[in-house]
Chains A and B, each alone.
Chain A
């Protein structure tokens, strides 16, 4: 019969005896495939399989794996499996694993395959997402209405904390990014305009682009990664810890208690941050311009005042408010929709940032087109 150093097959009248010797552990992996095939071929005329483990050394789950395979083989050939020769622990593990096999049907529906089905599922999910977004916008609007009527229930202290987080605490990063953006614009502008002897117009370039576009956009992107993501993570974690459920059962609508203060804080603070970003951005541009060209400090400032109109500044501020509303809403929307696991919170945070950035760019494009059309 088939024989190896650790596994031997022996006939004993009408039974096939599997003799196991030596150690059967993970540290000594053993290719049992060929022996099992030999075992299967030797089953002809047998009524059962038995085991001899008198020379068996140390063993772990690897032995149980082998025994399971032999057990299945025996069941497939309707043979009796005599487990009396097995170590007691291995026999119990085999019984435990076998007992669980009776509960095999996990009850999960197997989805039908195919591209059409996949498209249908995606379309259905897209519709569900759109409906959820509409519901969120509707509920947020109603909550805002109740706020205007003085009937919204939220903590004023929370609002102040969110205002602090979305304003004062954001100043260092807003300063750094916008100062550098101003310098980059100046550098590019001075180099190009010098060719035409029109370097003084770098002040126009910096002033208008920072106040109308770059200030608001850069602040919005910073706040999307900083505050919008934080809102999604906070609310998602609250979902995991059932804190939102606790609010609902207490009769406090999460839309008023959690979402409203966050949206209000960011929408109110963003215009202020944009004004600050405009000043810092122009300062960065000024510093680079007077160092890279022959333009003097006074000349640059006079040119900036002449070039930048109040409408440019107001458009930037308006964009700031809109972007703030969008970033806070995206963060809260995905946080409130988060599942109850750490992976879901991570996904909610990512989705919030992606949605924020896309909505910022789309909104900016719309506002730019509209303001151009109405001649502002």
Chain B
């Protein structure tokens, strides 16, 4: 991973299992979001491969990649809802583009998705008319519109109060369990990491590579790397046995 000539991360090698809630973690500026951009097709890596089921994402032909993208749902850090569309229209758009369903079915399905994230009754609101937490949930409804097999979340709790953040974490868990999806989460929110993460990779800005992988709770208990311990104990504020 690089910005121009500047290498941000190198020698990254990890596997995400089906059904995992996989956390990409590390301090600010270590390249977490960039790594996610490589994985979701927004930016090719400077070198190396991103494999989906053993198939190289960046070497796929256009049609195959488009089909794969329909199996991926993404929740962006600031929601990225289309501001001129209502919540219902935001959720309907992927369904209109990629299914042959009737307009009535699309609307019903979009209402269902909004209901799943607790936004029934807000279908006709514009994104600017609802709170930040609700925007995140609406963006989640859009992300699950096509019943994706893989869900990516970029800092889902950023800017949310603890209650909303907790509620979003529970929702992610619920949706993972009911949709059977794999979840990839970019975050440095320790509470989320320990509450829902089942596997992880730890990127370090100084070493410019991954310095740990595995269940975050296990890393907290067993890691001997001082950088990992410092991060997971919030600089020593938390006990290593806490979660």
Chain A positions within 8 Å of B102 at CB level? 29
Number of A residues near B (Cβ < 8 Å) is 30
Question: Within 8 Å of chain B (Cβ to Cβ): is A105?
Answer: yes
Q: Which of A26, A68, A346 contacts B112 (CB 8 A)?
A: A68
Q: Give per-residue flags for B157-190: 1 if the beta carbon is below 8 A from chain A beta carbons, else 0.
A: 0000000000000000011011110000000000
Chain B positions within 8 Å of A103 at CB level? 118, 120-121
Is the beta-carbon distance between B128 and A106 smaller than 8 angstroms? no
Interface of A is mostly: helix
Q: Which of A61, A92, A104, A343 contacts B84 (CB 8 A)?
A: A343
Chain B positions within 8 Å of A346 at CB level? 84
Question: Within 8 Å of chain A (Cβ to Cβ): is B66?
Answer: no
Q: A29-B100, A105-B121 are in contact. Are A90 and B178 (CB under 8 A)?
A: yes
Name the residue on A nearest B95 (C-beta).
A26
Is the beta-carbon distance between B120 and A26 smaller than 8 angstroms? no
Q: Which of A93, A339, A344 contacts B178 (CB 8 A)?
A: A93
The docked-state distance in angstroms from the alpha carbon of A341 to that of B100 is 31
Is the beta-carbon distance between A97 and B84 smaller than 8 angstroms? no
Is the beta-carbon distance between B116 and A97 smaller than 8 angstroms? yes
Is the beta-carbon distance between A93 and B116 smaller than 8 angstroms? yes
Name the residue on A nearest B179 (C-beta).
A89
Chain A positions within 8 Å of B179 at CB level? 89, 93
Those of A74-115 within 8 Å (CB) of chain B: 88-90, 92-93, 96-97, 99-101, 103-106, 108
Q: A60-B147, A341-B83, A343-B84 are in contact. Are A108 and B125 (CB under 8 A)?
A: yes
Interface of B is mostly: loop
Is the beta-carbon distance between A101 and B120 smaller than 8 angstroms? yes
Name the residue on A nearest B120 (C-beta).
A100
Is the beta-carbon distance between B121 and A106 smaller than 8 angstroms? yes
Name the residue on A nearest B84 (C-beta).
A343
Question: Within 8 Å of chain B (Cβ to Cβ): is A342?
Answer: yes
Question: Within 8 Å of chain B (Cβ to Cβ): is A321?
Answer: no
Chain A positions within 8 Å of B121 at CB level? 103-106
Q: Which of A26, A96, A341 contacts B128 (CB 8 A)?
A: A341
Q: Which of A29, A99, A339 contacts B118 (CB 8 A)?
A: A99
Q: Give per-residue flags for B83-120: 1 if the beta carbon is below 8 A from chain A beta carbons, else 0.
A: 11000000000000001111001001100111111111
Q: Which of A26, A29, A96, A344 contacts B174 (CB 8 A)?
A: A96
Question: Within 8 Å of chain A (Cβ to Cβ): is B122?
Answer: yes
Question: Within 8 Å of chain B (Cβ to Cβ): is A125?
Answer: no
Is the beta-carbon distance between A92 and B177 smaller than 8 angstroms? yes
Is the beta-carbon distance between B115 and A97 smaller than 8 angstroms? yes
Question: Within 8 Å of chain A (Cβ to Cβ): is B73?
Answer: no
* Min C-beta distance of B38 to chain A, whole Å: 26
Q: Which of A90, A100, A340, A342 contacts B117 (CB 8 A)?
A: A100
Chain A positions within 8 Å of B180 at CB level? 89
The docked-state distance in angstroms from the alpha carbon of A99 to that of B137 is 15
Question: Within 8 Å of chain B (Cβ to Cβ): is A188?
Answer: no
* Min C-beta distance of A342 to chain B, whole Å: 5
Chain A positions within 8 Å of B125 at CB level? 106, 108
Q: A89-B177, A344-B83 are in contact. Are A65 and B109 (CB under 8 A)?
A: yes
Q: Could you list some 23 contacts between A and B, CB below 8 A?
A: A61-B112, A61-B113, A65-B105, A65-B108, A88-B177, A88-B178, A89-B177, A89-B179, A92-B177, A92-B178, A93-B179, A96-B116, A97-B115, A100-B116, A100-B119, A100-B120, A105-B121, A106-B125, A108-B125, A339-B128, A341-B83, A342-B84, A346-B84
Chain B residues packing against A (C-beta within 8 Å) = 83-84, 99-102, 105, 108-109, 112-122, 124-128, 146-147, 174-175, 177-180
Chain A residues packing against B (C-beta within 8 Å) = 26, 29, 60-62, 64-65, 68, 88-90, 92-93, 96-97, 99-101, 103-106, 108, 339-344, 346
19 new A-B contacts, CB < 8 A, other than A61-B147, A99-B118, A344-B83, are A29-B100, A29-B102, A29-B105, A61-B113, A88-B177, A88-B178, A89-B179, A93-B178, A96-B115, A96-B116, A96-B178, A100-B116, A100-B117, A100-B119, A103-B118, A106-B121, A341-B84, A344-B128, A346-B84
State the 8 A-B residue pairs at the shortest beta-carbon distance, nearest first.
A341-B83, A343-B84, A106-B121, A92-B178, A89-B178, A97-B115, A60-B147, A100-B118
